[in-house]
C-alpha cells in the first residue's frame, strides 16, 4: 500500500520526461542498428526509475525490463515497435541508415514521452510496477505517442538548427 505524502508531482515528472525525451532524440541519431535501441531502452528505464522515486513506488529493474519488453513485443504493437523496426532498418547501407537517422529520433522521443506519461498516470492512480497492465493503457499510450511525436520533432528541429 502506498503511503506517500507526495501527491501528483506533475511539474517534476514533466521535467524528468522532457529531459529523457531530449536524450532519446539524441540517441536516435546513432547510426548503428540495435545500439540506438539499447540506448533508448536504458534511457527509458532510467526515466521510470526517477518517476517511481517521485511517487515512492518501489523500483524493480527486472520488472521494468519485462514491462518494456512486453510492450515492444506486442502489447502495444504499432507505436512501441516503431523504434526497434527503424533501428533494424539501419542495417541497409546508405538508404536504410539515412532513413533510420531521420526517423529514429522522433520515434524514440515519442515512445519515451508516451511511456513516461503512461506511468505518471498509473502512479497517480496508486499503481505500482507490479500492478501495471499494458492492455489497459493502449488508448492513452497511443494518444500520448501522437503528442510525443510533435514534441520530439520540435526537439529534433532545435538540435538540427544548432
Residues 110-159: pLDDT tens digits? Answer: 989 999 999 999 999 999 999 999 888 888 988 999 999 999 988 877 76
In a domain, 1, yes or no: no
**Does residue 68 lie within any of the structural domains?**
yes
Query: 36-61: per-residue pLDDT in tens?
Result: 778 888 999 999 999 999 999 999 99
pLDDT in tens, 73-108: 544 444 444 555 544 444 444 444 444 455 678 888
| Structural domain includes residue 150 | yes
Q: Please give the pLDDT value at position 112.
A: 93
- pLDDT of amino acid 83: 55
Q: What is the pTM of this model?
A: 0.78
Residue 59 lies in a domain: yes
Runs of H (alpha helix) within the chain: 10-27, 35-54, 61-70, 77-89, 95-124, 138-160
Q: What is the pLDDT of residue 49?
A: 97
In a domain, 128, yes or no: yes
The answer to whether residue 92 sits within a structural domain is yes
The number of domains in the chain is 1
**pLDDT for position 138:** 85
User: Does the residue 4 lie in any domain?
Assistant: no
Question: Does the residue 3 lie in any domain?
Answer: no
Q: Which long-range contacts (CB under 8 A, 24 or more apart) does 91-100 make?
A: 91/33, 97/31, 100/31, 100/33, 100/36
* pLDDT for residue 10: 84
- Per DSSP, 135 falls in state G
Q: Which domain holds residue 65?
A: 10-160
Amino acid at each position: 500500500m502506498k503511503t506517500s505524502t507526495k501527491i501528483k508531482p506533475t511539474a517534476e515528472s514533466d521535467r524528468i520526461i522532457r529531459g529523457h525525451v531530449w536524450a532519446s532524440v539524441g540517441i536516435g541519431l546513432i547510426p548503428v542498428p540495435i545500439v540506438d535501441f539499447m540506448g533508448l531502452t536504458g534511457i527509458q528505464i532510467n526515466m521510470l526509475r526517477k518517476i517511481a522515486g517521485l511517487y515512492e513506488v518501489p523500483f524493480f529493474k527486472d520488472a521494468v525490463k519485462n514491462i518494456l519488453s512486453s510492450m515492444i513485443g506486442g502489447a502495444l504493437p504499432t507505436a512501441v515497435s516503431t523504434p526497434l523496426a527503424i533501428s533494424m532498418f539501419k542495417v541497409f547501407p546508405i538508404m536504410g541508415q539515412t532513413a533510420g537517422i531521420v526517423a529514429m529520433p522522433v520515434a524514440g522521443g515519442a515512445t519515451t514521452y508516451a511511456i513516461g506519461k503512461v506511468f505518471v498516470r498509473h502512479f497517480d492512480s496508486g499503481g505500482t510496477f507490479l500492478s501495471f497492465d499494458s492492455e489497459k493503457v493502449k488508448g492513452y499510450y497511443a494518444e500520448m505517442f501522437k503528442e510525443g511525436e510533435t514534441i520530439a520533432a520540435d526537439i529534433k528541429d532545435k538540435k538540427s538548427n544548432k
